[in-house]
Amino acid sequence: MLLKLNTKLITYDYIILGAGASGLLLAYRMSQDAFFDDKSILIIDQVKNKGNDRTWCYWENGVGEWDALVSKKWSKVYFGSAWFSKTIPIIPFQYKMIRSGIFYDTLWKEINTKSNISFVEGKVNNVSEQVHSVIIETTNGKYKGTNIFNSLPNSDIYKSQDKYPLIHQHFVGWFIKTPVDTFDDSKATFMDFSVPQNGNTRFMYVLPIDKKTALFEYTLFSKELLEYRVYEEAIKRYLDRKNIVDYTIIEKEKGNIPMTSFKFNRLNSNRILHIGTAGGWTKASTGYTFTSTSKKTKDVVEFLKKNQDLSTFNKRTKYRFYDLIFLDVLAKHNNEGAALFSSMFKKADVTTIFRFLDEESTLIEDLKIILSVPPKRFIQAFLKRLF
């Protein structure tokens, strides 16, 4: 409940910093649960209506929670490289795409029906934890909260250490439209390593939305970013090679997702929980975040009904160690990424890969994935971490 102090500063039960996917999803989960109806909740962000600033893709078995918002589904994916190329059926899974605009709008529509949830537009300048509360200083005033959920990333924290490798998944994408039917929209191109690698792990990611519209995204897993023009030149060369010359660019997007096994849970405290990318919810070995965020926001809601100390939320799993070893290899041998992924997709069943990456695999399935990749580099990385 709202508590007025002598200083006229209001204390909120929960303050959510950032109204991106993780912050908004957490607020939405709270709005759908009667437990939080008598709790005061504040969301703080510089912008409320973000529009189509993101495209999220994920694989899912069967009907999912967000199917009404999905703009496109694929039941086949293409993987291409010099070592292995194949169009792969992924049934019973489907690869699904959501544009962020409809996602934000849908969640805000539900959140706005709750009188106990409010929004403040402003930039967060400082977060100061006290004994019984946390003070949030913004460009629009000060706010006090009992529990804080921070989705605003601070990259300096994991960039300033060298214990855990950091790889950037960085990309630029063009949504293009052609005047005639051009694309096979029954399959998504997951990874096409036919582009020059130039000492890195580089591939094209292609999502055909219909026969005349597609997203072409030039993506790298590497330590260093490129000049913006280099990404766009690579997309143009790829389109030329595919004889796609008559098109209109209808939209562009770009992004940089950190891939690191840094122990984000160490940043949490009794009253502050880091969520989303800021909390290490991004899958370290792939950069995928949406599925993890959808699951973990449910977990946070259930956790809050029983627990007081936010620092006890995260639990260690075997997958963090798997990701750490994978990133050790990719960071040290970045030019071998195409061969590594090719070996995995060639030797392992794609549904097993999906379960493994969703952190839902059995030990036998783990072993199948481990045996599908070149052993030398991974053994070296494993022994280095072990000893």
Give per-residue pLDDT as tens, 200-209.
999 999 999 9
Q: What is the pLDDT of residues 21-59, one digit of tens each?
A: 999 999 999 999 999 999 999 999 999 988 888 899 999
Q: What is the pLDDT of residues 309-345, one digit of tens each?
A: 999 998 888 999 999 999 999 999 999 999 999 999 9
Q: And the tokens for 327?
A: 């990133």
Per-residue confidence (pLDDT) for residue 38, from 0 to 100: 96
Closest CA to 189 of 200, 169, 167, 173: 173
Q: What is the pTM of this model?
A: 0.91
Residues in the chain: 387
Within 109-152, strands assigned E span: 117-121, 124-129, 134-138, 141-150
Q: Is 253 exposed, middle or buried (0-12, 13-18, 19+ CB in 10 A)?
A: middle
CATH class of 3-52+101-160+261-312: alpha beta
Average pLDDT for the chain: 93
Give the pLDDT mean for 134-151.
95
Return the CATH fold of 166-259.
Answer: Alpha-Beta Plaits (3.30.70)
